[in-house]
Every structure is written in C-alpha cells, then in structure tokens.
Amino acid sequence: MVQSRQLGVPVLDPVANLDSLAFDNRFTAALPADPDTSNRRRQVHGAAFSRVEPTPVPAPSTLAWSPEVAELLGLAPELCASQDFAVVFAGNRVPAGADPFAANYGGHQFGRWAGQLGDGRAIALGEVLDRHGNHQTLQLKGAGPTPYSRRADGRAVLRSSLREFLCSEAMHHLGVPTTRALSLVATGESVLRDVLYDGNPRPEPGAVVCRVAPSFTRFGNFQLPAARGDLELLRQLVEFTIRADFPDLAAESLGTFDEAVAAMFQDVCRRTAALVVEWMRVGFVHGVLNTDNMSILGLTIDYGPYGWLENFDPGWTPNTTDADTRRYRYGAQPQVAHWNLLQLGNALLQLTDQADPLEAALDHYSQSYQRGFRNMMAERLGWARPRDGDDALVNELMGVLTSAEIDQVLFFRDLARVPVDRDGRLSDEELIAPLADAWYRPEELVGEVRARLAGWLRLWAQRVVEGGLDDEERRRRMDALNPRFVLRNYLAQEAIDAAEQGDISLIGELLDVLRRPYDDQPGRERFAARRPEWARRRVGCSMLSCSS
C-alpha cells in the first residue's frame, strides 16, 4: 500500500487485491505462541495464542458486506463483489501476509470460573493497517475448529451470523462502541444445532462473519494466566496491551510498571462505564456478560443471545440459559460490568503489590457510570443538563414505564413530540396523545396508569422549561439520542427466515435503514413499528440460546 494524504492526514491507498492487504501482525509477533501446531483440542499453557488455519467450506458465497467497513479497510466495491472476497472471508484461502491464530483466554461464565475457554469458533486472519494507518484485526467467526473448540465443531449458523453482522453495524451507527462486521458469507454446508438445547437438533445453513476491531483482547486473556500463576505470560500480555491498545499511556512518563498497570485499568473502567451507559440508552441487552465477553477497549463484543428491550422491563434477559437467575438482565448490566472489572482487577493485582490504585479505579467506574447515566438521561429527556432532584423524576419514569406494556423505543422517541404545557391549559388527553403508539395494549392506558403518566408528563414539562432549551433545539437534541430505528428482534428474525429461503434482500434493506437510526426515513415506518403479536413468544424474537 502507498500512502497519500487527505486533509494533512496520511491515508493508505485502496487495496488492489486481497493479497495486498497491509498485514502488520503485532499480536503474534510480540507474544508467545503455542509450540504445538496441531489442530487438536487441548489445554494450552504458556502461550497467548495458537496458530491455526481456517477449514475450507464447499461453496462460499457473499450474502452481504458493509460499505463503511470496506471503505475503512480500503476495499473497493468491485473487490467486495468478487468471488475471491467470498473465498477469503469464508476461510478457504489465506491471503498473503496473514498469520491466522486463535487466542487463548479464560473467564467467569455466569459468575463461576470456567478455566480455559479461548477462540473456539473464531480464527483471526491477523492484523491489518486500515486506510488511516490504524490497526484492525480481521477475525472469521465460524471458520472451523481450533484447539479451544472443546466438543464443538468450530462452525456457525446463518441465524446467529446474520444477527451479529447486522447488529454490529447497527450499534456503530447508533454511536455505541462495538466491534464491526465486514462480511457475511454463506458456506454452502449444513451445521447441526440444537437451537433451544432441548434435545431436538436440526441442520441449519452455515455462515462465516468477518469481525473487525482494533483489538479482540478480553478480560479473560489476563484472567487465565493469572489463575494459572503464569506471571511471566501475564506481564507480557499487559506490557503488549499498554503498548498496542493504550498508546497514550505508553507514551506518557508513567514512571513505574505499577503506575502503568493502574493507569490502564482505570482507562478500562472508564471505557466500560461509558459503554454500559450507551447500552442502557438504546435498550440493548448483551445477554451473556461473562468476563470472556468483555473487551479491554470497552467495545460491545460477542453478539450471541443479545436482545433489544422493546417493552420496558428491567428484569428481561434474552438468554434462555439465564432464564432462572436473570443474572444478565437489562437492569443488572451496570452491576455485572462492575463485578467483571473486579475480576480483571484481581488478575492484574498479581503483578503489583499496589492494590489501592486498582480499588480507586473500580470506584472510578461507579462514579463514571452514575455521572454518565445522569448526563445521558438529562439529554435524552430534553433537560439539557442534570441537576439535583432529577434522580427522583427518572425513577418515577421507570415506574411509569413498568406500569403497563410500553414500547420504550417509541416512548422515548415520541416524548419529544409531547407539547410542553407552559400555562397549564392542556388536558391529559392532549399530553398523552403523541405517545399512543407506544402501548402494546392500549386498554391498559386507563385509570391509575393514565393518571400517573399524565402527572409525570406535567413534571417533565416543568423540568423542560427550567432546562431553558427552546422547543426546536430540545427536539433536535432528544432525537439525536433517542433512535427511531433499532434492530428489533422480530426484524432480525424476519431477515433470517427470508435468507434461509434464499432471499437476502431484507438484509440489505435493514443494513441501509439502520445506517441512519436517528432519521425518520419516510416510507420505512414499518421498520420502526412495535413488536407484532406473532413475535411475542417466538424463538428468536423473545429469547434465544447461546446456540450459534
């Protein structure tokens, strides 16, 4: 790749073919590799990764690709439409310069230490330089077995791959930190999966999604060597991560290694707090917040049994495996993230005798999250900035939203259309009318529920007036934080149903709609509609398993 310049910033020229991708494999060059190169399931000690080649598939065919990610990587549309694109991103051909590997990590799953986990179905082709000279790891999910596959086959089905492809891009356009998705490639083979883990497996079409991120390092990458007492590997991982993923920290004169570790951990806590605030804003429920699914960069990572909160229910989880304890329910995500950070802090503590800075970083998470949540709620409710007394008003809103089955996406978006009653002349009906579409069961909007909502709207309007924004500016700012379009669970399932029958048109249409989630997009109102009745309890629209 040749460098050109754009507005004074070096920009790498477009990729001529996939063999000219600018691979710069820092991770595999700097960290110890598994000396055993056989692709057999095993416990891997003393190594950060295992080199492994993707397993070819019979008939790779590109179903969709992200123009934005392709542009970031310097891939022209005609290259993305080529057969070689499908061949490479299905795993049938390893491009020149790639150094494929599966990472070795452990983690806590549902609160219990699970030991070695690792990339069981994901194989990174390696790290490339994007058009701006930044590192991006290209990772193929569903590209075949690795030493970490345990009893699994290393493959992925179209169902879960399509959900990850669409949601990765939807989250990016919503402004939520996330891994990205370059491509969705069908494999031409069937994969046997038990979607509900109820003893009824069936063959499903296979697929591979290419995930893209500056780093796929997880909390669990540090936890595993810490649990094994392998402090040499742990220290190497920390030093590499600071150098590669936190260059601002590496460039500073932090002094001692202990200070560098504490600074990195505080940054991870800050990023994680900001991430969870964004999840809570858009109503995203990760579904499986194990420590191995937490990104060191504060990115949303591993789109498994995730779900979008449609009717407002803080106790809802999309994960069938979590149905009994609801550990990973929407309302618990801030606390679970804190617990996961504590486990990461415990791992890092093995490298330093300075516990106080790590404890201070955990406290920083709590403070940062609370501050971020208050700021976010004040903005999305049209109050401009938080002030004393807002918590009580927000808590009352949560009570209103749980008093009936209310679509939270529609409620927050349409709240900007509620008239601000500055002189007390509007009736309850006039205040409530703009929110009518948010009720799944309009017959519930009566009596105490109706009176409570109207009472809150009057308090909300008073607070809007005190916030000082004129109506036009207030609506603009509210609309910038409250999306009209999200990847509703039933929309993803509709796209899956169509794709399994050979119709991929809805994938492209959804990708386009979700590219502008804060715009009204006339003619596409159906993609903003509340969940239809047929989707209330259907698998894929209500709850999902980890089956992928």
Do 73 and 18 meet the contact criterion of CB atoms below 8 Å apart? no
In the chain, where are the structural domains located? 3-215, 220-379, 384-468, 489-535
Q: Distance (Å, rounded) from C-alpha 277 to C-alpha 370?
A: 9
Q: Is the dihedral of CA 67, 70, 76, 82 positive or negative?
A: negative
Q: Which of 135, 106, 136, 138 is nearest to 119 (CA)?
A: 106
- pLDDT for position 9: 53
Q: What angle do CA 73, 132, 96 make, to 5 degrees?
A: 45
Q: Distance (Å, rounded) from C-alpha 189 to C-alpha 63?
A: 14
CA 499 remoteness from chain centre: 23
The pTM score is: 0.95
CA atoms within 13 A on the CB side of 347: 30
Full pLDDT tens readout for the chain, 548 residues: 445 544 455 567 789 899 999 999 999 999 999 999 999 999 999 999 999 999 999 999 999 999 999 999 999 999 999 999 999 999 999 999 999 999 999 999 999 999 999 999 999 999 999 999 999 999 999 999 999 998 889 999 999 999 999 999 999 999 999 999 999 999 999 999 877 777 778 999 999 999 999 999 999 999 999 999 999 999 999 999 999 999 888 655 567 899 999 999 999 999 999 999 999 999 999 999 999 999 999 999 999 999 999 999 999 999 988 888 999 999 999 999 999 999 999 999 999 989 999 999 999 999 999 999 999 999 999 999 999 999 999 999 999 999 999 999 999 999 999 999 888 899 999 999 999 999 999 999 999 999 999 999 999 999 999 999 999 999 999 999 999 999 999 999 999 999 999 999 999 999 999 999 999 999 999 999 999 999 988 888 877 767 66
Q: How many CB atoms lie within 10 A of CB 234?
A: 22
| Residues carrying an active site annotation | 292
- Written as six digits, the tokens of 114 are 């699970």
- pLDDT for position 538: 85
Do 311 and 437 meet the contact criterion of CB atoms below 8 Å apart? no
Percent of the chain residues past pLDDT 90, beyond the cut: 88
- pLDDT for position 2: 43
- pLDDT for position 251: 58
**Burial (0-12, 13-18, 19+ Cβ within 10 Å), 44:** buried
- pLDDT for position 1: 45
372: left (phi over 0), alpha (psi -120 to 50) or beta: alpha
